[in-house]
Amino acid sequence: MGFWNRFFGGKKKGEDTVKTVPHKSIKKNLETIKEIMTDCDDIVYREVEIGTQNEFKAALIYVDGMADKMLLNKFVLNNLMVSSRMVEPNGENIKNQLYKQLKDHTLTVTELSEVESIEEAVGFMLSGETILLLDNYNKIIIVASKGFSSRSISEPSTETVIRGPRDGFTETFRVNTTLIRRRIRDSKLKVKSMQIGKRSKTDVAVMYIDDIVNKGILKEVNKRLKMIDIDTILDSGYIEQLIEDDWTSPFPQIQNTERPDVTASALYEGRVAIVVDNSPFVLLVPATINAMMQSSEDYYERWNIASAVRLLRYFAATISLILPSLYVAITSFHPQMIPTQLALVLAVNRKTVPFPAIVEALIMETTIELLREAGVRLPGPIGATIGIVGGLVIGQAAVEAGIVAPLMVIIVAVTAIASFAVPSYNVAIGFRLLRFLFIFAAGFLGLYGVMLAILLVLIHLCSLKSFNVPYLSPFVNYIDESGDLGDTFIRVPLIAMNNRNAHANDKQRNRMDDKRKEYFGIEEDK
C-alpha cells in the first residue's frame, strides 16, 4: 500500500481547468484561439461569410492532417456557402435562429455538439474535430471530423494462429472498440471512455459486459485508472505498469492482446478490457497465469488436440525454467542420480570442458539470449539468418573447440525453443529471467538449490494477485471450484464448459444450455 500511495496518492489534482466563455464577437474568439495556439502552424483557420447577403461571419478551425478535409469541403463548407443560398430564408429574424438553422437544416454531418468554453473546444480540435465559430453567438459548435490516416487492420504479428480470425487491433482507438463490438452485439457491452495523461489526453476506454463482470473488479479498475496522474500515455504498457498490483514481480499481472477475439472471449468470461488509443495492445484484467498460457486457437480446435497442446505448453514452461539448472545441479553435485550409461557419456563429453557446469551454462544461455535479442532487432530476413548462423555455427564451433559439452548445447537449444512455446511473450520473458536465478541456485546448492528456487517462485506466485484474483487461480482453489480445472492443463470439450470462471459475476455463471445431449441421446450424469 505504501508504494501505491507514494506513487499516486498525496498530491491533489492541480487546478488547470480555466474556462473562458466565448465572446459574442467572432473576432475576439478567433483572437483568443490564435493566442492559445501561438506558433502552431498546423492549425488551419478558414473564415467564411454566409447568408444570402453574406451578412454572417463564420470560421472553421481544425488541425491540418487530423480532420477529414473531404467531409469539411462537401458537407460543411458546401452547405454553408453554396446550398444555403438556394433556400429562401423563411422571413423570421434569421439572426436569432441561425444556430438552430445551421444545426438542424444545413450541416449534413452525423455528429454535432456544442461547447461553452474555448479551452474545451480547443481540446476537441486537438483530437481531430473541427471548431465552427459563428458571429453573434456565444457557443462553439464542434463538427465531428476525425479523419487521420491510420494503419489498416492486419494480422497481429505477436499472436499468430493457424485457425481463427486474422484481424488484429490497430493504433486507432475507435477501430479497436469497433472490432470488439462486432463480436459482442449485446446492449450490455459497455464502453466507458476517459482521458488519461495531463498533456497527451489519451483516450482510454474500459470495456465490460455489464451483467457478467464482477463489480468489485470493475470498481477497482476504475479506481486505479482514476489514480493515474502522468503527463503522457504513449502505449498501453504505461497503463499496465501504473495499475498493476506488484511492480516488483517478474510476472505480468495484466494480460495484453492484439486479438479482438481474445478480448471478446475475455469479456464474455467477465473480465474487463482496457483499450488505449495509439496502442494495438488491449489490456485484460484480471489476469491469471492460466489465462496467459492459453491461446485463442485452443477453443477453435477440437478439445483433445487442444488439451494435448496445453499440456505440452505447461511442460515447455517448466523445462524452460528448470532444465539448464537441472543440468548444472546433476553434473556438479549429483552425478549418481542419472543412469550409469548417461553419466559416462556426460563425463566423456565434459572431459575437455575447462569450466565448471555453471559457467558453461551461463555462457551458453547468455549467447542464446544475445541471439534472440539481435534477432528481434534485425529486419526479418537478416533476423532468420542470424538465428541460423548463431545457432548452428556458434554451437558447433563451441563444441568442437571443447569449451562446451554437446549436451549443454542441446539443453540450451531445447530450453530456448521451449520458452517460445509459451503463448504470452511477457510471461516467457519472466521465465527466461528466472532461469538465470535457477542456474545460480543450482550452481551453489545443487538440486536442493533448485528446489529452493522453485519454492521461491511458487511462494511469489502464490502471493501475487491480479485485481483481487489470485494469480495462480484456479490451481490454488480447485477443491472448492473444481469445475474451473477444466480449462487449465486440459481443455474439456466445449459441451462440458457450461460455466464461466469463478471470478465472473455469480449470477451469470452459466453460459450454455446444451441441447446436443438431448438430441444425440447422451444421458446427463447430473
Partner 1 sequence: MNFNNEKVSLSQMGSILVLTMVGTGILTLPRSLAEAVGTDGWLLILIGGAICIGLLFIHSYIVKSFPGKSYMEIIACNLSKPVSYVVTALLAIYFIGLNAFLIRIFSEVVKMFLLLRTPIEVIIFSIVLMAAYLARQGIETLGRLAELLLPLILVPSLILFLLAMVGGDITNLLPAVTTTPKEILEALPIVIFSYLGFDIILIFGIYVNKPNKVIKSSTKALVFVVLLYTILNIVTISTFGEKQTTHLIWPTISLFKTIEFPGLFIENVEGFVMALWVLIVFMSIAPLLLVATTLLGDLFTVRDNKYFALPLLPLLYFIALLGDSLAEAYAYLEKFINYTAPFVLVIIPVSILISMFIRRRLRREGNTNV
- Summarize as ranges the residues that interact with partner 1 (CB under 8 A): 1, 3-4, 245-246, 330, 333-334, 336-340, 342, 445-448, 450-452, 455-456, 458-459, 462-463, 465, 468, 470, 472, 475-480
Please state the closest distance from residue 251 (CB atom) to partner 1, in A. Answer: 14
Please state the closest distance from residue 464 (CB atom) to partner 1, in A. Answer: 9
Please state the closest distance from residue 445 (CB atom) to partner 1, in A. Answer: 7
Q: Is the Cβ of residue 113 or residue 468 nearer to partner 1 in the bound state?
A: 468
CB 420 within 8 A of CB 320: no
Q: Is the Cβ of residue 193 or residue 477 nearer to partner 1 in the bound state?
A: 477
Q: Is the Cβ of residue 156 or residue 443 nearer to partner 1 in the bound state?
A: 443
Residue 305 is placed in which grid cell? Answer: 488436440
| Cα(35)–Cα(58) distance, integer angstroms | 18
Q: Is the Cβ of residue 140 or residue 217 nearer to partner 1 in the bound state?
A: 217
| Cα(61)–Cα(38) distance, integer angstroms | 14
**In this structure, is the dihedral angle defined by the CA atoms of residues 132, 133, 134 and 137, taken in order, positive or negative?**
positive
CA–CA–CA angle 401, 404, 406 (5° rounding)? 100
Residue 139 is placed in which grid cell? Answer: 457557443
| Cα(410)–Cα(368) distance, integer angstroms | 12
Q: Is the Cβ of residue 343 or residue 496 nearer to partner 1 in the bound state?
A: 343
Please state the closest distance from residue 193 (CB atom) to partner 1, in A. Answer: 26
Q: Give the number of C-alpha atoms closer than 13 A to the C-alpha of residue 421, restricted to the C-beta side.
A: 19
Residue 324 is placed in which grid cell? Answer: 539448464
Please state the closest distance from residue 293 (CB atom) to partner 1, in A. Answer: 15
Q: Coil, strand or helix: which one is 229? A: coil
Residue 443 is placed in which grid cell? Answer: 550452481
| Cα(313)–Cα(418) distance, integer angstroms | 8
Please state the closest distance from residue 325 (CB atom) to partner 1, in A. Answer: 12
Other beta carbons less than 10 A from residue 259's beta carbon = 24
Q: Is the Cβ of residue 342 or residue 370 nearer to partner 1 in the bound state?
A: 342
Whole-angstrom CA distances from 261 to 32, 44, 221, 264, 363 are 47, 40, 22, 5, 41
Residue 54 is placed in which grid cell? Answer: 453574406
Burial of 427 (0-12, 13-18, 19+ CB in 10 A): buried
Please state the closest distance from residue 337 (CB atom) to partner 1, in A. Answer: 4
| Cα(22)–Cα(116) distance, integer angstroms | 7
Other beta carbons less than 10 A from residue 179's beta carbon = 22
Q: Is the Cβ of residue 252 or residue 470 nearer to partner 1 in the bound state?
A: 470
Q: What are residue 213's phi and psi, to 5 degrees?
A: -65, 150
Q: Is the Cβ of residue 191 or residue 459 nearer to partner 1 in the bound state?
A: 459
Give the rounded distance of the alpha carbon of 304 from its chain centre: 29
Strands (E), 136-245: 140-143, 189-196, 202-209
Distant-in-sequence contacts of 185-190, Cβ < 8 A, 24+ apart: 188/212, 189/267
Q: Is the Cβ of residue 280 or residue 286 nearer to partner 1 in the bound state?
A: 286
Q: Is the Cβ of residue 149 or residue 340 nearer to partner 1 in the bound state?
A: 340
Nearest to 202 by CA among 176, 174, 165, 234: 234
Please state the closest distance from residue 526 (CB atom) to partner 1, in A. Answer: 22
Q: Three-class SS string for 452-478? A: HHHHHHHHHHHHCEECCEECCCCCCCC
| Cα(265)–Cα(184) distance, integer angstroms | 9
Please state the closest distance from residue 472 (CB atom) to partner 1, in A. Answer: 6
Please state the closest distance from residue 215 (CB atom) to partner 1, in A. Answer: 15
Q: Is the Cβ of residue 59 or residue 243 nearer to partner 1 in the bound state?
A: 243
Q: Coil, strand or helix: which one is 26? A: helix
Q: What are residue 205's phi and psi, to 5 degrees?
A: -120, 135
Q: Is the Cβ of residue 252 or residue 391 nearer to partner 1 in the bound state?
A: 252
| Cα(281)–Cα(238) distance, integer angstroms | 11
Please state the closest distance from residue 446 (CB atom) to partner 1, in A. Answer: 6
Please state the closest distance from residue 1 (CB atom) to partner 1, in A. Answer: 5
Q: Which residues contact 27 (CB under 8 A, 6 or more apart)?
A: none
Q: Is the Cβ of residue 378 or residue 454 nearer to partner 1 in the bound state?
A: 454
Please state the closest distance from residue 508 (CB atom) to partner 1, in A. Answer: 22
